[in-house]
Every structure is written in structure tokens, then in C-alpha cells.
């Protein structure tokens, strides 16, 4: 039996399939990107159109209002002022309650504690970095690092663990959750 | 002498790279997970370890399995202890029982296919707690939080019992990473072969000592059996000295060659940052 040749051909096939698959996925992603861009372009053209119509409508309303204001009393002006102030208060309440700064947290990983630093800028989670993780295996820690980006993207520590590096990523996530608690979110 | 050299190399790799085998298999699972999700397979650290170990295996044979895999070394240690106990009690395991796992070598391919399918359909996380490897890694890392891992603990205990009785039981029958390695073509240059002209027909001393029960192919045959772990046990065993490295220049210096292979593997794993 020359099984070495069969094995060699199989290996080449597997590698070829993987490379072909990757190229396909890449081409698809590019096509999707182009489609999204053109949709955006079409959308923005539509928005421009809408805006123009809106501006014209607004101009019409303003013209009517000025005509009305000339005849009515000053009381109405005070009324509009009040509603403006209310809106400002509401906007303020929507801001997240995180104070800017660097916060550290620690949690149990796979083989020991993981220390994490979360930086908050403008009330948002700007970045999550692992400070120390002596008990983790480097390859696992590297894979688990994807959870840092996920936290920044979700703006919350309530994210899924990375499969294949469950313990390390759960450690990073829990440490980040602890740090965010300190930030007062 | 050769036996002690192997044990020292195994101990060094166990202490330095105890998770190389799970990381490499993480690469296999990663490929199938990404294929199932329709996402791109990119070169992660798991995949890099898998690729490097596969290339290494294609050049040197399954030296990683025989000398550097932490789970394999763990099994070897268990078997050595059990063997010593048996000898001191004067008991022997009957031959029919001893040769049982050799007929079950195909189970690992079924297991590999099953894990690949679980990953492909994205349901692999649901089997968490069942992997004896996870339990072993956790215990090794001094992580005793084993709640939810009862099936894994149970399977690990079963495997340990098997490892005691049969040398390289897990590797031969169940190891899904070994299944991948055994499907790789190996360059017929640096592995072992047998100059079969000197062999008597009924002699099977090498096959009886081999953990996989292999009678190595003739040096002229380019095949290397997929289940040969490069454990090198057969070298000093043949009464006629028929088992030797295929490469003539390395004949007689197999111990040095083992050291060289270990050094190359050590350098590769350090470079990868396992």
C-alpha cells in the first residue's frame, strides 16, 4: 500500500478546499461591502431629496408663523422657551453615568487571577486591556483577547465568552465588569 | 538509557508546554466552527500551533505524540506505575486483553468526525463539561472549580483506568488530535523502518512491544504507519538489530537524534509562544 500518496493527495485537497473557501468568503465580503456602500449612496441621495422637501416645508411654516406672530401677543414666545428647557434636561439624563478615567478589575481566569484595565472616555468604554494573567497559557489568552473588543463594541461587560478559550475570556469579562462597577455605570 | 532520556524529555515538555495538545486541537475546532458559521478561517494562535505541529509531524513523524504531548506523558506515567505494581504482585494481563485496544483504533476517527460536526453546527458549547481534556487541564492548572464537569471527571477516570492497563490506550483509541496526525503523510526519511530480510517469519518481538502493535514496514517501503508514535521502544529490542532509522547517516545515533528532534520542537513551541 502506498498510503503515503493517498494521504498526501488528501492533505493537498483539504488545504485547497480551505484556501478556496477563504477566497470565496473574502470575495463575498467585498461584494457585500460594495452593495452596502451603494445602498448608502442611494440612501443619502434620497435623504438629500427629503431634506430639501423638509426645508421648503419648514420655510413655509416659518413664513406662516411670522405672519401669525405679528398679530398675536408675547405670551406664546414664553411658552416655546419652556419646552426648550425641558428638552435640555432630558438630554442630560440620557448620558451614561460613567466618570472618565482608568479603572482596574480582577477576576479568576483559567489558572489564576486576571487583572484588566478599562479606560472610560467621554462616558464611553474606550478600551479594555489585560494587565496581567500569569496563570493563562499565551495561546489561550491571545484567543480570549477577542472579548476585549466585544466589550468595547457592546459598551457593556455583558458579552459572550470566546469558544475555545472559555475560562480565560470569562476571566477577562468578569474583571472588566468589576472595573466598570467602579466607574459607576 | 534511552528510556530515561525519553522520560526526561517528556517531563520537560510536560512542565513547559502542558497545553500544546489542546491548543492544537483548538485549531481543528476553530476551522470547523468557522466553516459552519460561513466566516473566514484566519490564522489565529491556535491555528498556527496546529499548522506548525502538522508540518513537524510530516517531517519527523509523530514525535510530538511520543515525547511532548502532556496527556500522552500522563498516560505513560500511569502505565509505568501500574506495570510496576503488577510486576511486584507477579500478575500479568492476559494477551487477549492486552491486544484489545489495537482492534479499536478506528474509534478516534469517529470521535474526530463527531467533534467536527458539533463545531460545524455551532452546538459545541452545549457539550461543555463532557471533555476529559478540560478536566485534566483544569486540574493541571490547579483550578478545582469542577462543578458542572461531572461527565468529564467520570470520563477522565475511565480513561485513566484504561491508561493503566494499556500503554498509550487513549492515543490509540480515542485521541482526536492523534487521528488528525495519523492522516498526515510523513516523509520517509527520518522515521523508523525495518530491514526485513533478517527477520524470522514467526518473530514478532517488535510488534509485541509496540503500544500500537505495529510491525514496521520495510525500509524500502515509503509508508510510515499512522499509529506509530515514534516512541522508539522497538529500536533496542530487535535481536538482529533490524529496526533502524531510514536515513543511513543517523543509524546508531538514535538517542542524539531524539535530543535533536526535541530541541527543534522546543524551539518551535517557544517561537510560537504556546
In this prediction, residue B32 carries a pLDDT of 95
In this prediction, residue A75 carries a pLDDT of 52
In this prediction, residue B106 carries a pLDDT of 94
Of residues A79 and B158, the one with the higher pLDDT is: B158
- Across residues A6-35, what is the average pLDDT? 94
Nearest CA in chain B to A161: B125
Nearest CA in chain B to A7: B185
Residue B94: pLDDT over 80: yes
- Across residues A36-44, what is the average pLDDT? 92
Residue B189: pLDDT over 50: yes
Q: Which residues contact residue B34 at a Cβ distance below 8 angstroms, ignoring those fewer than 6 apart?
A: B40, B41
In this prediction, residue A70 carries a pLDDT of 76
B45 touches chain A (CB under 8 A): yes
Q: What is d(CA B185, CA B199) in angstroms, rounded to the nearest whole number?
A: 26
Sheet holding A101-108, edge to edge: A101-108, A113-121, A124-132
Which residues of chain A make contact with B19, given a CB cutoff of 8 A? Answer: 137, 139-140
Q: What is d(CA B251, CA B194) in angstroms, rounded to the nearest whole number?
A: 12
In this prediction, residue A84 carries a pLDDT of 45
Nearest CA in chain A to B119: A163
The residue among B166, B50, B228, B24 whose CA lies nearest residue A15 is B50
- B contact test, residue of A113, A137, A171 with most B CBs within 10 A: A137
pTM of the model: 0.82
A64-76 per-position pLDDT tens digit: 888 888 776 555 5
Nearest CA in chain A to B21: A139
B188 touches chain A (CB under 8 A): yes
In this prediction, residue A83 carries a pLDDT of 46
In this prediction, residue A185 carries a pLDDT of 53
B102-127 per-position pLDDT tens digit: 889 999 999 999 999 999 998 888 88
Average pLDDT, chain B: 90
SS (H, E, C) chain B: CHHHHHHHHHHHHHHHCCCHHHHHHHHHHHHHHHHHHCCCCCCCHHHHHHHHHHHHHHHHCCHHHHHHCHHHHHHHHHHHHHHHHHHHHCCCCCHHHHCCHHHHCCHHHHHHHHHHHHHHCCCHHHHCCCCHHHHHHHHHCCCCCCCCCHHHHHHHHHHHHHHHHCCCHHHHHCCHHHHHHHCCCCCCCCCEEECHHHCCCCCCHHHHHCCCCCCCCECCCCCCCCCCCCCCCCCCCCCCCCEEECCHHHCCCHHHHHHHHHHHHHHHHHHHCC
Q: What is d(CA B200, CA A11) in angstroms, rounded to the nearest whole number?
A: 37
Q: What is d(CA B126, CA B130) in angstroms, rounded to the nearest whole number?
A: 9
Residue B215: pLDDT over 90: no
| Cβ separation A7–B40 shorter than 8 A | no
Q: Do B170 and B156 form a contact (C-beta atoms < 8 A)?
A: no
Q: Do B6 and B231 form a contact (C-beta atoms < 8 A)?
A: yes
Q: The dihedral of CA B98, A7, B17, A137: what is its sign?
A: negative
In this prediction, residue B70 carries a pLDDT of 95
Residue A94: pLDDT over 70: no
B250-261 per-position pLDDT tens digit: 777 888 889 999
Which residues of chain B make contact with A164, given a CB cutoff of 8 A? Answer: 26, 29-30, 33, 46
In this prediction, residue A92 carries a pLDDT of 42
Residue A93: pLDDT over 60: no
Residue B187: pLDDT over 70: yes
- Across residues A152-177, what is the average pLDDT? 89
B138 touches chain A (CB under 8 A): yes
- Across residues B229-244, what is the average pLDDT? 86
In this prediction, residue B35 carries a pLDDT of 94
Taking CA B154 as the corner, what is the angle to CA A160 and CA B102, rounded to the nearest 5 degrees? 110
Q: What is d(CA B77, CA B94) in angstroms, rounded to the nearest whole number?
A: 21
- Across residues B171-200, what is the average pLDDT? 91
**pLDDT tier at A1, thresholds 50, 70, 90:** low
Q: Give the length of chain B.
A: 274
In this prediction, residue A89 carries a pLDDT of 42
In this prediction, residue B156 carries a pLDDT of 95
- Across residues B137-147, what is the average pLDDT? 83
B15-36 per-position pLDDT tens digit: 999 999 999 999 999 999 999 9
- Across residues B178-189, what is the average pLDDT? 94
Residue B13: pLDDT over 90: yes
Nearest CA distance, A106 vs chain B (angstrom)? 16
B197 touches chain A (CB under 8 A): no
Share of chain B above pLDDT 90, in %: 57
Amino acid at each position: 500500500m502506498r498510503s503515503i500518496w493517498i494521504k498526501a493527495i488528501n492533505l493537498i485537497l483539504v488545504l485547497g478546499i480551505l484556501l478556496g473557501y477563504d477566497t470565496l468568503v473574502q470575495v463575498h465580503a467585498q461584494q457585500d461591502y460594495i452593495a452596502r456602500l451603494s445602498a448608502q449612496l442611494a440612501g443619502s441621495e434620497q435623504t438629500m431629496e427629503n431634506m430639501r422637501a423638509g426645508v421648503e416645508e419648514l420655510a413655509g411654516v416659518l413664513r406662516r408663523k411670522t405672519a401669525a406672530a405679528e398679530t398675536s401677543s408675547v405670551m406664546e414666545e414664553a411658552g416655546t422657551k419652556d419646552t426648550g428647557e425641558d428638552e435640555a434636561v432630558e438630554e442630560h439624563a440620557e448620558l451614561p453615568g460613567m466618570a472618565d478615567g482608568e479603572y482596574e478589575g480582577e477576576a479568576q481566569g483559567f489558572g489564576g487571577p486576571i487583572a484588566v484595565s478599562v479606560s472610560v472616555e467621554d462616558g464611553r468604554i474606550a478600551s479594555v486591556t489585560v494587565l496581567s494573567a500569569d496563570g493563562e497559557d499565551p495561546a489561550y489568552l491571545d484567543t480570549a483577547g477577542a472579548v476585549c473588543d466585544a466589550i468595547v463594541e457592546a459598551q457593556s461587560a455583558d458579552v459572550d465568552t470566546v469558544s475555545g478559550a472559555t475560562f480565560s475570556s470569562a476571566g477577562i469579562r468578569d474583571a472588566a465588569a468589576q472595573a466598570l462597577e467602579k466607574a459607576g455605570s | 538509557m534511552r528510556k530515561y532520556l525519553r522520560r526526561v524529555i517528556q517531563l520537560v515538555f510536560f512542565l513547559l508546554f502542558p497545553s500544546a495538545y489542546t491548543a492544537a486541537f483548538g485549531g481543528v475546532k476553530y476551522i470547523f466552527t468557522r466553516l459552519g458559521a460561513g466566516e473566514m478561517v484566519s490564522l489565529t494562535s491556535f491555528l498556527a500551533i496546529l499548522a506548525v505541529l502538522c508540518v513537524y509531524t510530516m517531517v519527523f513523524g509523530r514525535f510530538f505524540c511520543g515525547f511532548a504531548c502532556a496527556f500522552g506523558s500522563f498516560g505513560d506515567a500511569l502505565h509505568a506505575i501500574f506495570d510496576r505494581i503488577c510486576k511486584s504482585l507477579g500478575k500479568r494481563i492476559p494477551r487477549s486483553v492486552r491486544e484489545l485496544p489495537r482492534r479499536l483504533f478506528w474509534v478516534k476517527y469517529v470521535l474526530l468526525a463527531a467533534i467536527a460536526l458539533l463545531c460545524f453546527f455551532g452546538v459545541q458549547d452545549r457539550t461543555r463539561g463532557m471533555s476529559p481534556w478540560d478536566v485534566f487541564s483544569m486540574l493541571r492548572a490547579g483550578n478545582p472549580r469542577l462543578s458542572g464537569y461531572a461527565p468529564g471527571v467520570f470520563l477522565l477516570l475511565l480513561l485513566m483506568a484504561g491508561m493503566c492497563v494499556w500503554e498509550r490506550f487513549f492515543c490509540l483509541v480515542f485521541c482526536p488530535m492523534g487521528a488528525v496526525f495519523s492522516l498526515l503523510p510523513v516523509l520517509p526519511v527520518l522515521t523508523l523502518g525495518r530491514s526485513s530480510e533478517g527477520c524470522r517469519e514467526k518473530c514478532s518481538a517488535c510488534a509485541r512491544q509496540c503500544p500500537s502493535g505495529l510491525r514496521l514496514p520495510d525500509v524500502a517501503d515509503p509508508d510510515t504507519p499512522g499509529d506509530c508514535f515514534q516512541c522508539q521502544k522497538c529500536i533496542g529490542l530487535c535481536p538482529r538489530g533490524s529496526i533502524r532509522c531510514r536515513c543511513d547517516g543517523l543509524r546508531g545515533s538514535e538517542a542524539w537524534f531524539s535530543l535533536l528532534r526535541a530541541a527543534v520542537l522546543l524551539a518551535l513551541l517557544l517561537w510560537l509562544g504556546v
